[in-house]
């Protein structure tokens, strides 16, 4: 049987601070291959190359991964500050229109971390530059030290809308997740439905209202240990099911 093909967006990077490359994390590739049982294919986040129509036609699903660069604040009507970190304007130019195109054409799409934030900005929402600076919020950033297992360890609960889309996927109204992000949703976009919040009120799980197919995003990193984690696996399985329609 022919496997579905998932397009995984890449990120701009300078190898040894001089050589420009496009890359994607191995854990994202493995999550797609091992759990959705699809063929993962990386495509460049370069607007002069990545044609939105062609991407929507050629891929059965799209994965928008996490990334260190943040969305440029001009994309949601704010001025750049030091707190906003650094950026990947090429990915901004590809990911934001791609989300809207996938939703309108019924191409299943899953957003992770930066991808979660891209969902929100694509529909007119805004972001806080640094969640940990807000009163009453915890530090959601990745621990600065430790092994990969320690950095991706489960950090907090996410409370889901009872009987909502995510609760149905996970079979529970509460899940435990990792946390490796600095920014987060400030104002939800026009079609963005928030169905999950961390215990400090930070949005963690969203979907696009009225989407023809799977259009979900999470602020945590479900690609880590996706084959064995009780939260990650059903999310990627649901993504795979949507591609097989």
Tokens representing 147 are 């092994």
Average pLDDT score over residue span 88-115 = 97
Indicate if the alpha-carbon torsion angle 210, 236, 66, 203 is positive or negative. Answer: positive
Confidence (pLDDT) at 20: 92
| SS percent in the chain: helix, strand, coil, step 5 | 30, 25, 45
Confidence (pLDDT) at 152: 87
Q: Report the distance separating Cα 75 and Cα 114, nearest Å.
A: 14
DSSP 135: T
Confidence (pLDDT) at 218: 98
Confidence (pLDDT) at 1: 66
Q: Are 64 and 111 in contact (CB under 8 A)?
A: yes
Please state, rounded to an integer, the average pLDDT across all residues of the chain: 95
Residues catalogued as catalytic:
113, 221, 223
Q: Are 148 and 158 in contact (CB under 8 A)?
A: no
Q: Are 90 and 47 in contact (CB under 8 A)?
A: yes
For the stretch 151-179, pLDDT in tens is: 888 889 999 999 999 999 999 999 999 99
Residue 31 neighbours by CB distance under 10 Å: 31
For the stretch 36-74, pLDDT in tens is: 999 999 999 999 999 999 999 999 999 999 998 999 999
What is the dotted CATH code of the domain comprising 5-244?
Answer: 3.40.50.880
Encode 105-144: b = buried (16+ Cβ within 10 Å), e = exposed.
eebbbbbbbbbbbbbbbbbebbbbbbbeeeeebbebebee
Average pLDDT score over residue span 16-38 = 95
For the stretch 114-137, pLDDT in tens is: 999 999 999 999 999 999 999 999
Residues 6+ apart with CB under 8 A from 18: none
Q: Which of the four pLDDT bands, split at 50, 70 and 90, describes residue 245?
A: confident
What is the four-CA torsion angle of 66, 72, 78, 83, rounded to 10 degrees? 70
Tokens representing 86 are 């650094």
Predicted model pTM: 0.96
């Amino acid at each position: 049987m022919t496997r579905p093909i998932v397009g995984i967006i890449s990120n701009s990077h300078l190898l040894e601070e001089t050589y420009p490359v496009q890359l994607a994390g191995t854990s994202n590739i493995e999550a797609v291959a091992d759990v959705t049982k699809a063929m993962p294919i990386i495509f460049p986040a370069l607007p002069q190359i990545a044609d939105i129509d062609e991407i929507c036609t050629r891929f059965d699903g799209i994965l928008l991964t996490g990334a260190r660069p943040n969305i440029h604040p001009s994309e949601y009507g704010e001025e750049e500050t030091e707190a906003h970190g650094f950026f990947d304007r090429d990915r901004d130019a590809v990911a934001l229109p791609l989300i809207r195109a996938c939703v309108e054409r019924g191409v299943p799409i899953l957003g992770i971390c930066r991808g979660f934030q891209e969902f929100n900005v694509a529909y007119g929402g805004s972001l806080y530059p640094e969640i940990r600076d807000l009163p009453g919020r915890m530090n959601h950033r990745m621990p600065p030290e430790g092994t990969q297992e320690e950095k991706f360890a489960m950090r907090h609960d996410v409370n889901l809308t009872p009987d909502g889309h995510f609760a149905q996927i996970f079979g529970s109204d509460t899940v435990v997740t990792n946390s490796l992000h600095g920014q987060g949703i400030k104002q939800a976009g026009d079609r963005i439905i928030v169905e999950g919040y961390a215990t400090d009120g930070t949005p963690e799980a969203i979907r696009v209202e009225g989407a023809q197919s799977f259009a979900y995003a999470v602020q945590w990193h479900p690609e880590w240990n996706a084959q064995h984690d009780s939260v990650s696996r059903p999310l990627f399985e649901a993504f795979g099911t949507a591609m097989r329609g």
